[in-house]
Amino acid sequence: MSENFISDAMFWCSLALIIVTVTYTVINALMLYESQKQRKLKTSPNVIAYLKSTEDYKAIRLYIKNVGEGVALDVKVDVIQDYCRFGKENCKLSETGLFKYGLDILPPGEHCSYYLDAWTNIKEKDLENLCVELEISCAGADREPHSHSCKLQFIQIFGQGYANPPETYIGKIAHCMNEISRTLAKIN
């Protein structure tokens, strides 16, 4: 009977050891997979586009920014729905810098910005129809292509609340100059 007991105990211990080994192997494989994904994320670019008002809230700017942690190479931004900057037919967005010629390199955290229009040129009734549609493509350091499209509607940034005075020093300068101008106008 003790031989059967020892034999059964060895069987169950071996089975438990096999289960633990298989579980450990699966966990290690999952950790390896996750580690590879993390490494890829650390070297991949993520180039996005967004609209923002200038700090004095008088104009709209389009930003193209690499928010990823990897360098973006051969950045191309194709304009799907074009926009005539400041209402001028000869000043189309698609004929400007990055949009026309592309960009060889865009490091992480860096951006390009372009003035689109003054808020005073935009009628509120037309705001719902105004947008810029872009197709952004680039390659990472490993030359793997990345691309996506976006539609940026002007109405999404219309009427946003802003700090008064603005938070940055450049915005504060414009704000203070406007305040001085108003004060001088009251004096005269």
Q: Are 1 and 27 in a shared domain? A: yes
Q: ∠ at Cα 180 (177, 182), nearest 5°?
A: 110
- pLDDT of res. 5: 76
SS3 39: helix
Q: Do 107 and 130 reside in the same domain of the chain? A: yes
- Same structural domain, 152 and 94: yes
* Other beta carbons less than 10 A from residue 127's beta carbon: 16
Which of 45-59, 99-113, 155-169 is most confident?
99-113
User: Containing domain of residue 29, as a range?
Assistant: 1-43
Domain annotation covers residue 185: no
Give the mean model confidence (pLDDT) for residues 105-116.
92
Structural domains of the chain, count: 2
End-to-end alpha-carbon separation of the chain, Å? Answer: 113
**CA 73 and chain centroid, separation:** 16
pLDDT for 115 beyond 70: yes
* Residues 140, 94 share a domain: yes
Q: Same domain for 109 and 39?
A: no
For the ranges 17-21, 26-30, 53-57, 141-145, the lowest mean pLDDT is seen at 53-57
Secondary structure letter of residue 95 according to DSSP: G
The string of DSSP codes covering 133-167 is EEEEEEE-TT--EEEEEEEEEGGGTTT----SS-S
Residue 164 confidence class, pLDDT cut points 50, 70, 90: low
Q: Helical H runs in 44-160?
A: 97-101
Same domain, 27 and 52: no
